[in-house]
Amino acid sequence: MFRLFRDRIHESFALAAILAGSVALHVAWIDNLLISRSTTIAQMVTLNPQIGPISGLYVDVLGAYFTSLLIAAALWRGRDVSHWRDRVFWFFVASIIMFLLMTLPFVYGFAVT
């Protein structure tokens, strides 16, 4: 695998990895918000009762990462993706900011009573 990447730069794969990371972070905060708001969803993602819903959350995030990586890598394979660079980069930055903000307990737990 390392030799394959050394002979030629597969930029599409690197860009797919960045997009996958961004999608996974968005999935993480949205999933967490849904879990905190709905007991049905919390029960659905509870894979291990001892650990709680966070077990399903980790599986969801890893699943989202590798699914988006495979889809994006397959779609962009062998193509010139230089025009996607900036858009994917800023999407990545936005996803980090959104994740950091939306996983704060007082933000996702906010409710008007």
Partner 1 sequence: MDSALFLEFIHPGQILFGLTVLLFGSAFTLSLLIGMKTHVVRPLIGVLFMILFLLLGTVAIEFSAAATPSYTLGDFASLSEALSTHRWLLFELPIVLTTTSLLILVVYHEKIADPHARLYRSVVLLSIAVSFASLIAIIFESML
**CA atoms lying within 13 Å on the CB side of residue 74:** 6
What's the min distance (Å) between Cβ of 67 and partner 1?
13
> Which of 45, 74, 75, 76 has the alpha carbon at shortest distance from 62?
45
Structure tokens at 52: 């709680």
Neighbouring residues of 94: CB distance < 8 A, sequence distance ≥ 6: 22
Q: Could you say which of 44, 51, 94, 101 contacts partner 1 (CB under 8 A)?
A: 51
Q: Is 11 in the site for partner 1 (CB under 8 A)?
A: yes
Q: Is 99 in the site for partner 1 (CB under 8 A)?
A: yes
Contacts of partner 1 in 64-83 (CB under 8 A) = 65, 69, 82
Contact 57, 35 (CB under 8 A): yes
Contact set with partner 1 (CB under 8 A): 1-2, 5-6, 9-11, 13-14, 17-18, 20-21, 24-25, 28, 32, 35-36, 42, 48, 50-55, 57-58, 61, 65, 69, 82, 85-86, 89, 92-93, 96, 99-100, 103-105, 109
